[in-house]
Structure 1
């Protein structure tokens, strides 16, 4: 019992209430705890920076790919084309470059997404023009890898309540992923009203996804295939999930190994007239 009392008596109490030795120990302990907390904070900052740089690289590469593909087509076919054909392709190239520029200016929004602070504008957005523009931008790349993109848009006036650039990024990432993983196979893009929502789906006949990977693939830096099988950071689906949820929707996947995949983004439908 005396030894227990002695042991208890040397424990440092709150700073300012003990002996000088206890006070020193208490101050050192507090300082170490503060340094440890600061170290953890700095580690999180570095991780956020690295994550942002990876997202930036992914998003800019996605937006630039159609530009490069269109330039390659122009270089190969320029001599045999009529002026109106050349003008049409230059217009498409200008449109693709505009999308790239807009994507570059929204990268700060992506960093806010990573921090959980992303806020998007809510407006009436016509779905059909966005889907057609994105698919047209990717057609040269799809043709190069022998992917046939078909579009089914039964309602030409279909609209969502959301952010146009966010919708562009969602469609861009869905189509880009499909082309990446199912070269030589067809891709189907469809948008239709389902009650108070719009269902936007992209179906492919690629390698499919195991059931165990269905939720994991929507996390940042996660992919359904092993590293080295396909290029990429594993960011596109994470971007799709966050943008969909920020607009009040969600993303679903239906897939099985060897049987292709269908990604469906569900977004709130705007039922009034477009202005």
Structure 2
């Protein structure tokens, strides 16, 4: 059989199809890179503002939290909206790993701001120690959560849980710095919250290795705060009844 007749067995449309889809994936990848890069810049801004909580007394938190909302979280919300609009045109699980870590960081900044008393509404004013649910986070970002009925952008349960582990780590650090600021009540509140969080995590049946390892690490956050509480108790800075029966969150 001649080479001409042999080459005729391959349909040129096959390679045209591969070329078209290959170029589409490159275009999608470039656009995702642009959006996530901008989103990460907003996340860095928000995290930088939130880092000031470690040197800000509780009585002066509200002005800082307002700045966090205006200069950090609002830009995050806008960029997440752009990401959701663009990615919902494509299979979610084909590309979601490109933005999952960024979304986890966004959720964490929202959870931390809410826990400190920010992001309050008329129906639910801000109060320290309030843990936002995944549904509330979705409402703030104006995106779906834990979608099961369609293939579109959403906040996953795993992203929310991973953000919770980041929250406990940041609060364990704050518990020590709040002692330096003389805010013992906040340290006690954080201790109670993290213990409750760890107890709640024990009820979960975690099959994802990454999530399970991150949740296991929360026990070290608990230990860190317990050490602080123990030291304060030895110094008689916390009444014994308060340290043994901390307020539930």
TM-score bucket of the superposed structures, by smaller chain: 0.3 to 0.5
Hey, which of these two has a bigger chunk of helix by percent? 2
Q: Which protein has the larger Cα radius of gyration, Structure 1 or Structure 2?
A: 1
Q: TM-score, normalised by structure 1?
A: 0.32
